[in-house]
């Protein structure tokens, strides 16, 4: 099994290692709300508004990054995101005026998230169709391992000085940027071709991208389903922690419950992806959506510690199924010359969910209670599953033609 991952192209393995290093140093994202509300004294409402601005910047960065990855190349966009993001982080550590701070947070998210669609497009360039689930699974587990490492280390650093969070976070981005600059070549098909025709103007290129994607109804429907699932999934990061505390569990019990997700991803992501890669990707994504719907929906029916852990395990299994195969399907559906743009719009669905889902879920929990919230997540996720079912045949045929 592990041979399939070790045999991935060296640049892909380097990208995964670099993502692990970068995410392990992503302290600012983890502690942003605490830093803004307590260290700078801006208060909780303003700090949570900064999280919303972070999501808006991420949405813009995802779209722009995908377009630029097609226009100027994957490698250059990733370097801009990493080196530019590091510079903005260092600047952000010195900002104490609230509105300048909020603006800087948005600019940082925009620049840093140029990276995501460009990296995904590079993986699509480098990896054959049948190996793409393995590549995206390895990237996904690398990111999750990094995020598991960041909070405890960040907590220790914050005990000395919050400035350390910004400096080391920036250093991790610079380190990853240097790894890419020194070891990875451009992979964009048109950029590496010696006989490539002159590129169209930026405006013409943008119009072509918008027209092509706007007429691609199966892809847009897939993105709608992705957004709906993401709106549900983001509750696991926003309202579920609040709900667990409302049930009266201790900090230790809360930590144990929230560790179920990361532990299962680390243990199951690679072997399950290896085994499932022989099956229809749309089938796997659809089953994953059902599991996410059931896992969140069941949360409304019980409150025991083990029961909540089982619910988390169910929707985590759905996440494990969907994560690599979602990106594989989008990569396969995209024309080679617009791969970055397709992945940019797909990535924006998750950024949009963070911006919309967290405040909406919080409002539902506050005004209507947990039963309404978790029942609502079940309904929304099942609507997404229904859309998957409607486009199942057309997407399957299209991916099969690519293969």
Residues 6 or more apart whose CB falls under 8 angstroms from that of 211 comprise none
Which among 48, 115, 103 is positioned nearest to 79, based on CA atoms?
115
- The 3-state secondary structure of 144-200 reads HHHHHHHHHHHHHHHHHCHHHHHHHHHHHHHHHHHHHHHHCCCCCHHHHCCCCCCCC
Alpha-carbon distance of 180 to 13, in angstroms, equals 11
Alpha-carbon distance of 177 to 81, in angstroms, equals 9
Residues 6 or more apart whose CB falls under 8 angstroms from that of 111 comprise 61, 80, 81, 84, 85, 88
Domains of the chain (ranges, CATH numbers): 1-191 (1.20.1250.20), 209-403 (1.20.1250.20)
Per-residue pLDDT of the chain (403 residues; tens, 9 = 90+): 667 777 889 999 999 988 888 888 777 877 787 788 878 888 867 877 787 788 889 889 988 998 898 888 889 999 999 999 999 999 999 999 999 999 999 999 999 999 988 998 898 888 888 888 888 888 888 888 887 787 778 878 878 888 888 999 999 999 999 999 999 988 876 655 444 455 555 555 667 777 888 888 999 999 999 999 999 998 887 788 778 878 888 767 777 787 788 889 888 988 898 888 888 999 999 999 999 999 999 999 988 999 999 999 999 999 999 988 998 899 888 887 888 888 889 988 888 888 888 888 888 988 999 999 999 999 999 999 999 999 999 999 888 876 5
Cβ–Cβ < 8 Å for 231, 356: yes
Q: Which helix (H) or strand (E) holds 202?
A: helix 202-214
């Amino acid at each position: 099994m592990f041979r399939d991952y070790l045999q991935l192209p060296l640049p892909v393995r380097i990208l995964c290692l670099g993502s692990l290093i970068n995410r392990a140093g992503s302290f600012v994202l983890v502690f942003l709300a605490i830093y803004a509300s307590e260290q700078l004294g801006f208060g909780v409402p303003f700090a949570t508004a900064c999280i919303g601005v972070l999501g808006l910047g991420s949405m813009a960065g995802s779209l722009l990054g995908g377009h630029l990855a097609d226009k100027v190349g994957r490698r250059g966009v990733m370097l801009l995101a990493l080196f530019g993001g590091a510079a903005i982080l260092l600047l952000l550590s010195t900002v104490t005026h609230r509105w300048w701070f909020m603006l800087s947070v948005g600019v940082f998210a925009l620049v840093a998230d140029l990276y995501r669609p460009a990296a995904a497009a590079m993986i699509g360039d480098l990896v054959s169709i049948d190996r793409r689930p393995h590549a995206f699974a390895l990237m996904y587990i690398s990111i999750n391992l990094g995020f598991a490492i960041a909070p405890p280390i960040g907590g220790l650093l914050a005990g000395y000085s919050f400035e350390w969070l910004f400096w080391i976070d920036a250093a991790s981005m610079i380190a990853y940027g240097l790894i890419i600059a020194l070891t990875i070549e451009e992979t964009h098909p048109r950029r590496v071709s010696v006989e490539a025709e002159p590129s169209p103007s930026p405006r013409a290129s943008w119009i072509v991208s918008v027209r092509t994607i706007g007429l691609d109804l199966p892809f847009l429907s897939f993105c709608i389903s992705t957004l709906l699932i993401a709106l549900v999934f983001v509750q696991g990061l926003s309202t579920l922690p609040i709900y667990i505390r409302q049930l009266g569990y201790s900090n230790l019990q809360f930590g144990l419950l929230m560790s179920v997700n990361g532990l299962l991803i680390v243990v199951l992501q690679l072997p399950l992806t290896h085994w499932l890669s022989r099956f229809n990707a749309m089938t796997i994504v659809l089953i994953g959506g059902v599991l996410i719907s059931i896992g969140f929906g069941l949360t409304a029916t019980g409150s025991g510690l083990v029961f909540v852990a089982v619910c988390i395990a169910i929707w985590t299994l759905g996440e494990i199924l969907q994560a690599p195969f979602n990106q594989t399907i989008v990569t396969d559906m995209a024309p080679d010359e617009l791969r970055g743009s397709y992945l940019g719009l797909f990535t924006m669905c998750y950024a949009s969910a963070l911006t919309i889902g967290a405040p909406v879920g919080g409002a539902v929990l506050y005004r209507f209670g947990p039963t309404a919230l978790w029942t609502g997540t079940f309904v929304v996720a099942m609507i997404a599953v229904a859309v998957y079912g409607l486009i199942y045949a057309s997407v399957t045929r299209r991916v099969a033609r690519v293969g």
